Structure formats: structure tokens, C-alpha cells
Amino acid sequence: MTKKYHHYNKCGCQKGQYCHKCKPQHPDQGAIVQRVVCSKEVQKSAELLLPAALGPLSETGVNGITPGSLIGGIEQLLGLTGGALVNIRVSPDFTAIQQEATVIKDKVINMGYIPATLDVVVTGGTVTLSIPVRIFFQEHTDCPGARPGDQIIETDPVVEADFYQDLLTTDASGSTVVNLLLFKAIVCSHLTIYRPAIEKNGELCDIDSCSSPDGPVTIKSP
């Protein structure tokens, strides 16, 4: 006799599904399909440096910190001399975004990065140095019913919005502002989580509904 499990049973069968020891009776009479567990749009924020700024600083500075001393310190770090530094800007490569997704219980962890360069602009508008960087993003998305071992399909990332800011700017009074947030982008993709199931008489039952992970799941990174 086939036993009807309710949605709260330990085997993972959904309400209205007929299961026997976590699998339908006579599985050879059913069809193996891919059951969609969760399908969601995910927005991720990628930022370079901190959402803050130093200044505004007049030429006399504040507590000994002047625009000249700050710029001089940055030049020293970059190996520049003689007040050559004009600015530092971010140049992202949106065509080469990398991303990975990991399923844990009832949630998907999505990580990735945007490859970019920090372009050092010197006197005359010349870019004298381009430092390769990776601008990371991550997002944790609720996905009720998901579990380790589920399969993932993720669409190619789409940049919905971006923000650029030079390292050195001036305010309305002409005082220097050193910006620590140089770049921000909102990246969107669509996640679909699925697992194999047996379909019989219009009902679904997970094939591996009694399986469980052994130990913590390793989070994937690009």
C-alpha cells in the first residue's frame, strides 16, 4: 500500500505527493525530470574601497593634514615624485565578470568579481600606471527548500547601474576632497535551482530526498 507523506515529513516529499521510503512505488513507471526548487533574480553590489571621503581640506589643512601631504603620501606609495600625480580612476571590464554560486540549506551564496584597473593619471593627462584589481561582490539569497547537492543554472551577469568617482575632487569652495569610494556597480543575474525527481500521475517525488550533506559545504569562488 502506498503511503501519503505530508509536506513536513523528513523525507522531503511535498504535500500531495505519494512516496514510499522517500521514493514513489514502481519508479520504473514514472519519468525522471528536473524539478525546479527555486528561481529568483539576484542583485549584487560591487564596490571598490570604502563609502567615505577625507575632507574637504583647505590648503592649510586640518591638524597638520593638508592636500599636499596626502597627495605626497600617495605619490610615494606609487613611486612618483615632484607632484606628478593628477588623479586615480577605475576602469572596469564588464565583459569579463566572473561569478559562482553555492547552495546551502534554504539559501544560495553567490560570489564573484569585476576585473578592473586602477589608472594613475599624471601631469599632461597621461596614464602612467594601470594596476589590475578585482572588485568583489557577494549576495545571500533565500531559497526555501534548497539543499546542498542541488544543481544551479545562473544567467550571464548584467550591469544595471554603475558609479565612478576620481580619487581627488574639489567641493564648491575649491577645497580638496579625497574620495575613498571610487567605484560601485549593481550586477544582476537570475538563479534557478533544480534537482532530479520522478514524475508519476502528475506528481513529483525527489529521487535523493533522504540524502544529507556530510559536514560543512565548501563555498565556491571564481
| Domain residue extents for the chain | 31-206
End-to-end CA distance of the chain: 49
* 132, 115 Cβ separation under 8 angstroms: yes
Please report the pLDDT score of residue 176 as a whole number: 86
Please report the pLDDT score of residue 21 as a whole number: 43
Low-confidence ranges of the chain (pLDDT < 50): 1-10, 16-22, 24
Please report the pLDDT score of residue 126 as a whole number: 76
Please report the pLDDT score of residue 58 as a whole number: 80
| Parallel/antiparallel/unpaired status of strands 126-142 and 107-122 | antiparallel
Predicted TM-score of the model (pTM): 0.74
Nearest in space to 90 (alpha carbons), one of 182, 160, 181, 168: 182
Please report the pLDDT score of residue 208 as a whole number: 67
Please report the pLDDT score of residue 213 as a whole number: 59
